[in-house]
Amino acid sequence: MTDMKKKKLDSATVISIVIVLALYVAVFIAEQFIPATSMLFTVIKKGATYALVAVSMNLLNGFTGIFSLGQAGFMLIGAYVYGIFTIPVVSRMDVYQYYNGGLVQFTLPVFVAMLLSGLAAAFLALLIGLPVLRLKSDYLAIATLGFAEIIRALFQWDKLGPITNGSNMLRLFPNFNDFNIRNANGDVVVYLSTLVPLLIAGVCIFVIILLINSTYGRALRSIKDDEIAAEAMGIRLASHKRLAFCISSFFAGVGGAMLAMYQTTVQAKSFTTAMTYEILLIVVIGGIGSVTGSCLSSFLFVACSEWWLRFLDQKQVIGDFEVPLLRNGFRLVVFSIIIMIVVLFFRQGIMGRKELPDLIRQLQGKKVGGGASK
């Protein structure tokens, strides 16, 4: 992570970079030795995806002060664009079985398709941003929420079937497992299926951090702090809000493509409002205005919901004693209680507005300027 405050990187920033790189190395090593079916990797893959989308949402809600709830809609666009353009031509007849193999009869490389996912989402954001960004706060939230619902319905429309496969799912496109390097026999030589998604999310989040710490990032933050003052300082509100909206949607689109790879299938009906709320929850728990917070909380969130609390859904017997209450669905009860506790006792989220380098500076005993800049 860069520090633009001083010209040279200070020690806290260097330590942060080292920590992040060490995590990557650790994941790489773990992946080679721990069986690929371990829940750990599932959590990291989904966590990386959610972290990217959460940071992109934070860019809007936390840094620009635009309360948008359209994230699931933009993820849907990203997931579909990725799916549509990466299904191998030979498999299209299977996937588009009701639509004669569909309209698209070519395949793009994975990373080109991911880029296209982002661009498609950003372009749509540009269009709907024109009317929607004139609204403020809760009205804007409702409008973007409505947009996401319309997108979801539209992609299931039968007339669009040759492209979107209607309400049937897209499948057989390259997923995370295809990043593993295999030998001629098809045996995996180097496992990369967890590292690559983590890298993609990392690069995207790094770009967002660069943006936040640039002159445009300052302009966006000034809009959040005080629109009237920002405008009086010569910052054109409409264009800057549109910029933030498009960039956020771009990364939500890329996140959608990652989610498609994680799930190995795409179906419009799974991109519900609940998905946006999950992301929003991650942003709030992590701290509105903290990239580190969003990343941390998305991994914690995914780990809790997918892994650590799973045992609550099953009957547990300790000795002769059968633990009461544990049955299917109880996990969600505990999960909700944990979230309520976090929200009640950490009003600012786990990180507040602080970032990783700020924490290290704190440990070093230096004064932190409110964590406003990184």
Binding site for another protein (CB under 8 A): 4, 7, 207, 210-211, 214-216, 218-219, 221-222, 224-226, 228-237, 243, 247, 289, 353, 369-370, 372-373
DSSP 140-195: HHHHHHHHHHHHHHHHT-GGGHHHH-TTSPEE-S--GGGGSEE-TTS-EEE--TTH
Is the Cβ of residue 199 or residue 211 nearer to another protein in the bound state?
A: 211
DSSP 311-359: GGGS--EETTEEPTT-STTHHHHHHHHHHHHHHHH-TTTTTTT--HHHH
In whole angstroms, the minimum distance from the beta carbon of 52 to another protein comes to 16
In whole angstroms, the minimum distance from the beta carbon of 343 to another protein comes to 21
Is the Cβ of residue 45 or residue 353 nearer to another protein in the bound state?
A: 353
Best CA proximity match to 256, nearest among 86, 26, 62, 40: 86
The DSSP bridge partners found for residue 322 are 317
In whole angstroms, the minimum distance from the beta carbon of 246 to another protein comes to 9
- Within 13 Å of residue 218, how many CA atoms lie on the same side as its CB? 9
3-state secondary structure of 189: strand
Is the Cβ of residue 247 or residue 302 nearer to another protein in the bound state?
A: 247
Best CA proximity match to 5, nearest among 373, 326, 344: 373
Q: What are the distances in angstroms from CA 172 to CA 85, 90, 134?
A: 11, 10, 41
In whole angstroms, the minimum distance from the beta carbon of 217 to another protein comes to 8
Is the Cβ of residue 236 or residue 315 nearer to another protein in the bound state?
A: 236
Is the Cβ of residue 235 or residue 334 nearer to another protein in the bound state?
A: 235
- CA atoms of 43 and 308, how far apart (whole Å): 10
Q: How far is CA 34 from the centre of its chain?
A: 25
CB 224 within 8 A of CB 89: no
In whole angstroms, the minimum distance from the beta carbon of 237 to another protein comes to 7
CB 55 within 8 A of CB 286: no
CB 231 within 8 A of CB 78: no
Is the Cβ of residue 181 or residue 228 nearer to another protein in the bound state?
A: 228
DSSP 23-65: HHHHHHHHHHHS-TT-HHHHHHHHHHHHHHHHHHHHIIIIII-
In whole angstroms, the minimum distance from the beta carbon of 347 to another protein comes to 16
Is the Cβ of residue 36 or residue 235 nearer to another protein in the bound state?
A: 235
Which are the contacts of 147, defined by CB distance < 8 A and separation ≥ 6? 70, 73, 128, 132
In whole angstroms, the minimum distance from the beta carbon of 359 to another protein comes to 18
Is the Cβ of residue 138 or residue 226 nearer to another protein in the bound state?
A: 226
In whole angstroms, the minimum distance from the beta carbon of 279 to another protein comes to 22
In whole angstroms, the minimum distance from the beta carbon of 257 to another protein comes to 21
Amino acid code (one letter) for 93: M
Structure tokens at 282: 């991650």
CB 245 within 8 A of CB 66: yes
Is the Cβ of residue 243 or residue 351 nearer to another protein in the bound state?
A: 243
In whole angstroms, the minimum distance from the beta carbon of 320 to another protein comes to 57
